[in-house]
Copies of this chain bind each other. A is one copy, B any other.
């Protein structure tokens, strides 16, 4: 505690052992809480450690045991509240189990993600939770699985990676939401996602399961209602306020404008609402709006936003639990060749005031 600050080298088990007059291994046993030591020796060692201000070197410990009690978390965008919640949940579960979390933010850049995965593996994390960015290349994830250390995918499935995944099942909720829009008389429903236009591709499912699922649910609802789906209203590239504004303008102008807008997440929702307000659109009178992610502010804006609420904390917590389980029982994960295993939690629609009658409404 009250050490002379003029110490350069930190005390080690050897120092403690010397001071306590025991062998290094004995001191290490007492300090590390393994093996067995007599109460009196333990006492002497503890006292010596205390006097010296000894602190274990976890690096050395990890090197010996091969385990670091650390898990890596690779996320695209930590400042997005959605992933903030997931991070929090994962931290909580990991922490309770005595694990630390190393967080890497990749800004949804594939190259950064690959680097992050590699680096965390090099740092010998015991397992990895990854929110994979949309990309056709998943080599880094397969490589991670090949190390034998457990990997769990959060919020996004990848059929080409032999890892567990935990995500939100949005399809029924999307169907419900879209159904509500259709029932209200809307036919032209725009959907805005931050995914780059290069992913607007038939194999979208490979690359971003959440977006593919949203589109699938919408398509199902249209089919069920016997209404033809307009593919021109799936709008990609809403990655900034300006880009989102431009997409909103595109959706709302032209010969057959959208009468309803759905945003892919709460960040986009904010930009969409801002733009709609700038344009002076009448919500929910002439235009309807809904969003994925039920952000805490959704009930407070005017009109209150109808949203698809996603149990992301549960997803995060389950991810962490599954990861820890695999860490503790090696071989519990999916086989390298086996089909990926997926677990999901259902989303639900929270109906608020932002959906009004569309042009096809009976009056």
Which residues of A does B touch, CB under 8 Å?
A: 1, 3, 5, 8, 10, 55-60, 62-63, 68, 70, 77-81, 84-85, 87-88, 91-92, 95, 100-105, 118-124, 139, 143, 146-148, 270, 273-274, 277, 295-297, 299-302, 336
CB neighbours (8 Å) of A302 from chain B are: 301-302
Give the number of copies in the complex: 2
List 14 interface pairs A-B (beta carbons < 8 Å), by A numbering. A1-B143, A5-B336, A8-B148, A10-B147, A57-B122, A59-B59, A59-B68, A78-B91, A79-B87, A87-B103, A102-B103, A297-B301, A301-B301, A302-B302
Known pairs A55-B122, A59-B124, A295-B297; list 4 more (Cβ under 8 Å).
Answer: A3-B146, A59-B63, A70-B102, A277-B300
CB distance from A301 to the nearest CB of B (A): 5
CB neighbours (8 Å) of A120 from chain B are: 100
Contact A123 B58 (CB under 8 A): yes
CB neighbours (8 Å) of A102 from chain B are: 70, 100-103
Partner of A299, one of B3, B10, B147, B274: B274
A10-B147, A58-B122 as given contacts; A100 in contact with B104, CB under 8 Å:
yes
CB neighbours (8 Å) of A146 from chain B are: 3, 5
- 6 smallest CB-CB distances across A and B, nearest first, come from A297-B297, A302-B302, A103-B103, A79-B84, A58-B123, A79-B88
Partner of A84, one of B5, B60, B84, B274: B84
CB neighbours (8 Å) of A5 from chain B are: 146, 336
CB neighbours (8 Å) of A81 from chain B are: 79, 81, 84
A267's nearest neighbour on chain B, judged by CB, is B296
CB neighbours (8 Å) of A101 from chain B are: 102-104
A81's nearest neighbour on chain B, judged by CB, is B81
Contact A300 B301 (CB under 8 A): yes
CB neighbours (8 Å) of A295 from chain B are: 297
| A55, B120: Cα distance in complex, Å | 11
CB distance from A110 to the nearest CB of B (A): 15
| A8, B303: Cα distance in complex, Å | 59
CB neighbours (8 Å) of A8 from chain B are: 148
Contact B63 A60 (CB under 8 A): yes
Partner of A103, one of B91, B92, B123, B297: B91
| A270, B119: Cα distance in complex, Å | 39
